[in-house]
Amino acid sequence: MAGEPNRRREDPTLRRVDTAPNTRKGVSLSVRGLRKSFKGVEVLKGIDFEVKAGEIFVIMGPSGSGKSVLLRQIIGLDSPDGGQVLVEGRPVERPDKTTRYRVAMVFQSGALFTSLTVGENVGFYLTEHKSKSPAEIAVIVARELEEVGLQGVEDKTPGELSGGMKKRVAFARALVIDPQLILCDEPTSELDPLSAVNIAEEIVKLNQRTRATTLVVSHDRELAFGIGHRIAVLEEGRIIAIGTPAEIKGSPDPRVQLFINAHVPTQA
């Protein structure tokens, strides 16, 4: 189908994966001096932050601030012009057998394969890499779909699902590898308020269940303050504040206050 990812290539949402059981908790993540330009325009202007193993870290900022570009550098879909991304203190661009880790990405669109069923989408990585038998994959798929509240939808297609259900399928697909690091790009984008709350609850629940480090980028202020252990505010390619939700709300930086307190004016 036109526009669909190439099924013969590795699923882009699952990177640097082995098949051994997850015997460790989440991994630490460090971003140091990250820079990226497109056509001479600098989008990331020296990004620095640390994410602790097992925490939910939210990068919040307005549209066009560089959030999704930053996430693509971290996952390795794009190469930075300068700086480094380190996992457990080691550069992600030079992994070796002693530093393999499980990392999954949930894209803004969900990135589901439209020609596959929900069950086939969730079990895609395991099927392509033949790491489990079909019977084992079916059990794992059913378990992960149940974890995200989607029991019995294995035979449906993505086109039969609501936007919120597609996002939850994307989370289930990420969970089949028992990830140590989960990256989420605008998880509540294009969702109604109730569905957005459900996705926020899923992120917290999955973080508690898997103990995976969870990095979320979003412009959704309610999501950030609701789920984040710590929050970084990104503006025009720079981190302008990092702290707990309470510390961000109390930030003296007028740029931070302008973003977190912006609201639609009411009619007189």
Give the pLDDT band (50/70/90) at residue 248: very high
The answer to whether 37 and 124 have CB atoms below 8 angstroms apart is no
| pLDDT band of 132, cuts 50, 70, 90 | confident
Percent of the chain scoring above 70 in pLDDT: 86
Mean pLDDT, residues 73-96: 82
φ, ψ (nearest 5 deg) of residue 38: -130, 120
Residue 32's pLDDT band (cuts 50, 70, 90) = very high
The answer to whether residue 11 scores a pLDDT higher than 60 is no
The pLDDT of residue 98: 53
Stretch 22-30: mean pLDDT, rounded?
76
Q: Which of 16-25, 144-153, 157-166, 210-219 has the lowest mean pLDDT?
A: 16-25
**Other Cβ atoms within 10 Å of 68 Cβ, number:** 16
pLDDT tens string 204-246: 988 988 899 999 999 899 999 999 999 999 999 999 999 999 9
* The Cα angle at residue 209 between residues 207 and 214, in degrees rounded to 5: 15
Q: How far apart, in whole angstroms, are the C-alpha atoms of residue 104 and residue 182? A: 5
Q: Please state, rounded to an integer, the average pLDDT across all residues of the chain.
A: 84
pLDDT for the residue numbered 120: 92
Q: Which domains does the chain have, with CATH numbers?
A: 25-102+181-262 (3.40.50.300), 113-177 (no CATH)
Predicted confidence band at 99 (pLDDT cuts at 50, 70, 90)? low
Q: Is residue 13 scored above 60 in pLDDT?
A: no
Q: How confident is the model at residue 52 (pLDDT cuts 50, 70, 90)?
A: very high
Angle at 195 between CA 56 and CA 12, to 5 degrees: 60
Tokens of 204: 């917290």
pLDDT attached to residue 266: 67
pLDDT at 100: 67
CA nearest neighbour of 104 among 122, 129, 81, 79: 122
pLDDT digits (tens, 9 = 90+) for 172-186: 998 888 889 999 989
Q: Burial level of 159, CB count in 10 A (0-12/13-18/19+)?
A: exposed
If you average pLDDT over residues 2-10, what whole number do you get?
39
User: Tell me, what's the pLDDT at 93?
Assistant: 67
User: Contact, 69 vs 78, CB < 8 A?
Assistant: yes
Q: Give the distance from CA 181 to its chain's centroid.
A: 9
pLDDT given at position 262: 82
Q: What is the DSSP letter of 131?
A: -
Note whether 159 and 1 are within 8 A (CB): no
pLDDT for res 119: 92
- pTM, two decimals, is 0.83
Percent of the chain clearing pLDDT 90 (strictly above): 44
